[in-house]
Structure 1
Amino acid sequence: MSETEGKTPAEVLEAALAAWREALGEAHVILEPEALEAAQTATFATTQRIPAILRPADTVQVQACLRIAQAHGVPVYPVSGGRNWGYGSRVPSGDGSVLLDLGRMNRVLEHDEQLAYLTVEPGVTFRQAHAWLREKNSSTFITTIGGSPDASLVGNALERGDGRGPNADIFQHVCALEVVLPTGEVVRTGHARFPGAHAAPVFRWGLGPVLDGLFSQSSLGVVTRMTFWLSRKQPYLREFFCAVNDDAHLWSAVDRLQALALDGTLKGSFFFWNDLKAFSVTQQYPYASVGRTPLPDWARDQFREGFGRWAISGALSAPDAEIGALLERRLAAALDGAFQGVPTEANLAMTYWRKRTPQPEAPDPDRDRCGFIWCSVAVPFTSAHAKRGVEIADRVPRLFGLEPNLALLAHSPRCLYLVTALAYDRDVRGEDARAQACYRALTQELAQAGYFLTRAGLQAQELSPPVPDATTELVRTLKTVLDPWGILAPERSEN
């Protein structure tokens, strides 16, 4: 770090910027105030400042960026699509971090139709991947997400996001990561580290310790390549929807559908939505008829007349109609009465729930000062646990004048995600602080009940509960070894 000796912080940054300009080209080291301001804006209050944005074109340039950062002691924070709305968008975890924007790295590198995989760079979005597979007339598809179609495949997988349909646990269905360490060195996981290994894109474990998980929800490296396992389109596809007006029936349905997921009748993800979540997707807050917040019970009751207290939705797929009909009968008995990879912006309507202006044709919750925070916790897939978690998530937002927008996502046959969306208007004075206080109270009460976060965005910093074993110390040790100067995403929580 001799290059920093005797220099002021401003001189250190300027020296690093000069080196980055040489490595990337003048046009890809961005200092314009408007661009920096946009990158510093999220769907909740943040204070971090970004001095510059770097836009590398390939892995070699990412290596150069990190080596320069290390030489000058200037922290960098990597983002892929920058659409991590509700968790911090593209705002760095630490103040003064230069944004390493991987959006230019948007190539589809490899596709195999028979083995059903797609290898991409971090700038490839769900919308782009869908269009690319459609253009190839592929019979395969990649799962979609509830967030923006312009979100990064790699970024979502690394944050362990959840999808719709098959392979909903996205990170469980990836392999062959290429990672640039903070030192600028490159590692490849699984068999990808062996030159010419034919099984690299189809065999996750490789030989020896499995490293993939080290780079998920962490600041231990920058992923520049990843292989996704695709699903095959099924000839038989039927979406289902069931309205539930009685809570007792809902909890009974949770157990019955869990049994169908475990025996393979329901192979993909499915969802339990409460009325407020459905309300916020179909329209904005009814200020004209209500006039105040939070939403009164009578307005909620009016919407329920066409929806119910809860709705259960998902899809059945099968290789032929005969098997599909059998699955339908099993599902109908259990219930008493966009699942093939097409990305959609429908769920983004939730972020505009409390805004008084209409959602624009090209939604951007950061730009439009939508207030939005996700709280997602893992819950065992039983009615008892689902009921207990929902009772907490339904009660706490009301204490802070927010609507309890709730969903239970069938993440696997054994685990549900209980997802609470806190939607508000950042243009209303004091709402940022109120929403943050609500998030803190909600996560703390859920944790006390034994339900812990699955994703921790910027809003969760310093909220991680104490860990009594050696996990935290082990992660710190790995961070020190892999990032000796602490230049990659400093202050990111990795508990």
Structure 2
Amino acid sequence: MSRFIALPKGVTEAAFAKAIQEYRALLGEDRVRTDPASLQSYMKIMIPETEELHKPSAAMYPRTVKEIQAIVAIANKYKTPLWTVSTGKNMGYGSAAPATRGQIVLDLKTMKKIIHVDEELGYCLVEPGVTYYDLQEYFRKHKMNLWVDVPAPSSMASPMGNTADRGVGYTPYGEHFLVSCGMEVVLANGDVVRTGTGGVQNSTSWQASKWGYGPYLDGIFTQSNYGIITKLGVWLLKGPPPGGYMPFLMKFPKVEMLGDIVKTFMPLRLAQIIPNACVVVNAGWEAAGYFTYDKNGKGTNRSSFYKGKGSLPPKVFQEIMDKFKIGAWNFYAALYGSPEQVALNWKYVSGAFKAKFGNQVQIITEKEAKDDPIFEYRRQLMMGGSTLQEFGLYNWRGGGGSMWFAPVAAARPSECDKQMRVATDILNKHGFDYVSEFIVGWREMHHIIDLLYDRTQPDEMHRAYQCFDELLRVFSKNGYGTYRTNTAFMEKAANTYGPEMRKLHRTLKKALDPNNILAPGKSGINLDIPL
């Protein structure tokens, strides 16, 4: 019987033991863990596969770039693959578990330096273990009027991890990779590369100028396994003057109104009258939040309304909407600038929606929202604020199962409406609810659909896998690409982008990581699996 809970593919126990011995000589006993108790947190998955398929062999905690360089040298020597995480808060996409069994989790949460914050130009340079909350506390401590864009799940996530997976948020800086500037990357051979102008000796514009000279490289280190990002530049928003921030909510009573909602706000978004990555939230997503934030502080879920195993009947959904005063669609956005700018833009925004919908739209500002917890949650998100509450969606069905299906739609009414209808049909067919939000980008919508299910029920596990598989297959057939996916479906998602793209990804992997030691399987890139 092995003394390790798992072994990397193709690595003998004797070879792995020698590798661990060398890792411990480098980092010390406490920073190289192989005991089951220490590895338990890396086996908590929400996807419909067994923990056995994603069980790590060890976890390591480097503190410096030099240590990472030494780690990759040992990994190349013994062919021990490294699955890199920053804080592991990759909710809905696979958490911190490796894509394939036996990988060593390289946990960078111990690299927590906020290296520099420039208040004048609004940027920072951080290490992987720095969280959004750490940055916010830094701004408060140093009395800096700066905001950082935060994703929905938790401010305990890492700007580096979320940016590397091309995550999104809700302020005018909602496209996180777009507002990153400059990376430091350790390659599989131990070389350290600084992108953009970072390679210039004594560079003074590394976090101010994105492009540098020659081919732009930052993109190949996102959603990939070509290097280990050890430093990241992030652009920050300057907070507006007092009275220069106005969050609002508009509620709409009918599912069929989605197309008209999109048609009304997109001209305002393109004109930058609404400048932030606003969001259109369906009743299921909104209801899940209210169940989490019940007044007694107790977690409840949809079972308090419906005991059936299938998707919620329309009548029950309507009961939930009525109880919590939820719209079929709930549009959250914000206005920013001087008080005078905000007041003028509010006339345009409220006027456009009143003209289109009349008394069928309910408009809510901070005054009307009062102490509503979900409005407060959204108000915080749209100003780069902090919530330490774990994301409430996961309690909707119970049982801890969650996969985010994330297709992209062109921001046209017809495309959004079609995606909504196709997704609803497939989810309901498999017995699941349509729980979603559309995050509005520049000209596209990130359609985030949370497939929630009970991991404790084998039947639901099977149905959830089949449902996600059908969503991916049908959406791809209809011309909709997914922008991000969980570890169970990375290979299949990669296949939807065509053999030419897969061949190019593999060519880069062979050139940069011929021993396949960096996160094999990430985004479907794995030299062990033939195309």
TM-score range (shorter-chain normalised) is over 0.9
Residue from 270, 273, 278 that aligns with 1:262: 270
The 1-side partners of 2:440 and 2:390 are apart by 17
Residue from 331, 335, 348 that aligns with 1:316: 335
Aligned to 2:57, what secondary structure does the other structure show?
coil
The 2-side partners of 1:408 and 1:466 are apart by 22
The 1-side partners of 2:436 and 2:459 are apart by 23
What do the CA deviations read for 1:225-246 (whole angstroms, capped 9, x no partner)? 0010000111211111111123
The 1-side partners of 2:521 and 2:235 are apart by 32
Aligned to 1:312, what secondary structure does the other structure show?
strand
The 1-side partners of 2:383 and 2:327 are apart by 26
Give, in angstroms, the shift of residue 428 of structure 1: 2.5
Pairing 1:33–2:16 present: no
Pairing 1:243–2:251 present: yes
Change (3 A) 1:347 1:408: farther
Residue from 214, 227, 231 that aligns with 1:225: 231
Give the structure-2-normalised TM-score. 0.86
The 2-side partners of 1:206 and 1:440 are apart by 41
Aligned to 2:458, what secondary structure does the other structure show?
coil
Change (3 A) 1:302 1:467: closer
What residue is the counterpart of 2:503 in the other structure? 473
CA contact (8 A) 1:43 1:371 kept: yes
What residue is the counterpart of 1:127 in the other structure? 133
What residue is the counterpart of 2:419 in the other structure? 389
1:127-166 alignment runs, 5 A limit: 127-166=133-172
The 1-side partners of 2:457 and 2:312 are apart by 16
The 1-side partners of 2:433 and 2:389 are apart by 19
The 2-side partners of 1:473 and 1:84 are apart by 27
What residue is the counterpart of 1:343 in the other structure? 386
Pairing 1:325–2:343 present: yes
Give, in angstroms, the shift of residue 26 of structure 1: 1.2
What residue is the counterpart of 1:105 in the other structure? 111
1:70-469 alignment runs, 5 A limit: 70-235=76-241, 236-283=244-291, 284-293=300-309, 294-305=311-322, 306-318=325-337, 320-336=338-354, 338=380, 339-345=382-388, 348-355=391-398, 370-412=400-442, 414-464=443-493, 465-468=495-498
Change (3 A) 1:295 1:345: farther
Give, in angstroms, the shift of residue 248 of structure 1: 4.7
Aligned to 2:517, what secondary structure does the other structure show?
coil
What residue is the counterpart of 1:23 in the other structure? 26
CA contact (8 A) 2:185 2:192 kept: yes
Give, in angstroms, the shift of residue 145 of structure 1: 0.8
The 1-side partners of 2:313 and 2:452 are apart by 16
Residue from 491, 504, 518 that aligns with 1:488: 518
Give, in angstroms, the shift of residue 409 of structure 1: 0.8
The 1-side partners of 2:134 and 2:29 are apart by 27
What do the CA deviations read for 1:271-300 (whole angstroms, capped 9, x no partner)? 111111111111032424422233232221
The 2-side partners of 1:8 and 1:232 are apart by 51
Give, in angstroms, the shift of residue 346 of structure 1: 5.2
CA contact (8 A) 1:66 1:182 kept: yes
What residue is the counterpart of 2:366 in the other structure? none
The 2-side partners of 1:451 and 1:467 are apart by 10
CA contact (8 A) 2:181 2:208 kept: yes
Give, in angstroms, the shift of residue 345 of structure 1: 4.5
Gaps of 5+ in 1: 1-6, 356-368
The 1-side partners of 2:256 and 2:462 are apart by 36
Q: What is the identity, as a one-letter code, of the residue corresponding to 1:390?
A: M
Give, in angstroms, the shift of residue 247 of structure 1: 4.1
What do the CA deviations read for 1:312-332 (whole angstroms, capped 9, x no partner)? 1111111x2111111101111
Give, in angstroms, the shift of residue 494 of structure 1: 4.5
Q: What is the identity, as a one-letter code, of the residue corresponding to 1:302?
A: E
The 1-side partners of 2:490 and 2:191 are apart by 29
Give, in angstroms, the shift of residue 8 of structure 1: 6.8
Give, in angstroms, the shift of residue 466 of structure 1: 4.5
Change (3 A) 1:15 1:347: closer
CA contact (8 A) 1:244 1:309 kept: yes
The 1-side partners of 2:316 and 2:463 are apart by 23
Count of residues in correspondence between the two structures: 474
